[in-house]
Amino acid sequence: MTTAAADRGQARARKSRLGRRTYSWATLAPVLVIVGVFTLVPFVYAAWTSVHRHVLVLQGRPFVGLRNYQNAIEDPLFGDSIKTSLIFVGVSVPLVTLAGLLVALLLNQRVRGFGILLVLVLLPWAVPTVSAGIMWRLLLHGDFGAVDGFLFRIGAIDSYIQWLSNPTLAMASVIGVHAWREFPLAAILFLAGLQTIPPDLAEAARLDRASAWQRFRYVTLPLLKAPLLIVLVYETIVALSVFDLVYVLTGGGPGSATTLFSWFTYTATFKYLNFGEGAALSFIMAAVLLVCIVVYMRVVRLREDVT
């Protein structure tokens, strides 16, 4: 009798465990299928494509080994675009970080009316990159742009500047617009970090007659270390994969002045329909980004250890 009851109890437990398993996997299945079909499968396919000749206008897909990688690297634009990307990352990441930090420090002050700035600051980040890019293209227009109009009116320039048709200025413009779009994100992250600083601590430092700089250096900055590292690495990843802005602002030109590596990959793939070489380039890019992401995860884990 007792054993029968125990058996029944066990059977019920097993059944409920089975039910749990079924429920669990049933709830995970949609996400696993969607993510798998659109990332894992394409990844395997891309790996295959990158070692075969796969040009849309040519018949046949012979195995070519690492030829696609070799062709990609030997393209003179490859080195140029990497150099351009390095400059872009090297200037825009510190610029975004610094602007974000300054804005966060400003917005952290209790000044009447700053509430509305906290709302406004989201706007450049919230609108589509394409829209922001086209908007700035109108503003920077060399014949009737508002930027030139403003500078001319206040007497800063004698003649209109052709922002987007001079190689150096075009690069500067893309960087500037990118920074305008990205600084809100950095500011929000820094602001979140600033708000973790206990007010007592800042007050104590003030009572100890620490100067504003000392308070910033010894109270604020150490607590901003984690958001700082995260912003740096995250913005590096974003800057490496910029695409929309180049498309609407400069199209990679003038010449190849703003041909970033991401743009070069895109044109190699879709302009010349050379999917094999495109896949090879994508993998090179993926490797670079992966390094950044690994650093990023390291940084995040570092923070967990610290706190």
**Is 272 among the residues that bind another protein (CB under 8 A)?**
no
Give buried/exposed letters for 275-305 (b at 16+ CB in 10 A, else e).
Answer: bbbbbbbbbbbeebbeebeeebeebeeeeee
**What gap in Å lies between CA 91 and CA 171, rounded to an integer?**
10
What mask of x and - would describe binding to another protein in positions 242 to 261, judged by CB under 8 A? Answer: -xx--xx--x----------
**Angle subtended at Cα 14 by Cα 12 and Cα 18, rounded to the nearest 5 degrees:** 115
Whole-number CA gyration radius for the chain: 27
- Name the residue nearer to another protein (CB basis): 1 or 154: 154
**Residues between 20 and 39 with contacts to another protein, criterion CB under 8 A:** 20-21, 23-24, 27-28, 30-32, 34-39
Residues in region 102-131 near another protein by CB under 8 A: 103, 106, 109, 111, 113-114, 116-117, 119-124, 126-131
Question: Residue 63: phi, psi to the nearest 5?
Answer: -70, 130
Q: Does 98 bind another protein (CB under 8 A)?
A: no
Of 63-71, 73-81, 164-172, 237-245, which part binds another protein (CB under 8 A)? 237-245
CB of 3 to another protein, least distance (A): 28
Q: How many chain residues interact with another protein (CB under 8 A)? A: 96
Contacts with 178 (C-beta within 8 Å, 6 or more apart), sequence order: 88, 92, 96, 239, 242, 245
Question: Is 242:178 a contact under the CB 8 Å cutoff?
Answer: yes
Q: Is 192 an interacting residue with respect to another protein (CB under 8 A)? A: yes
Q: Give me the 152-171 binding string for another protein, x by CB under 8 A, dash otherwise.
A: xx------x-----------
Tell me the closest approach of the beta carbon of residue 177 to another protein, in angstroms.
9
Using CB under 8 A as the binding rule, whether residue 135 contacts another protein is answered as: yes
- CB 91: neighbour CB atoms within 10 A? 17
Choice from 6, 86, 98, 138 touching another protein (CB under 8 A):
138
Decide if residue 271 touches another protein (CB under 8 A).
Answer: no
How many C-alpha atoms does 300 have within 13 Å on its Cβ side? 8
Q: Does 66 bind another protein (CB under 8 A)?
A: no
**Is residue 282 involved in binding another protein (CB under 8 A)?**
yes
The smaller minimum CB distance to another protein, of residues 6 and 192, is found at 192
Asked if 145 is part of the footprint of another protein (rule: CB under 8 A), the reply reads yes
Distance CA 267, CA 254 (A): 15
Q: Indicate whether 202 belongs to the interface with another protein (CB under 8 A).
A: no
Block residue for tokens 């500067």: 172
Closest among 91, 90, 85, 97 to 230, alpha carbons compared:
97
Residue 218 binds another protein, judged by CB under 8 A: no
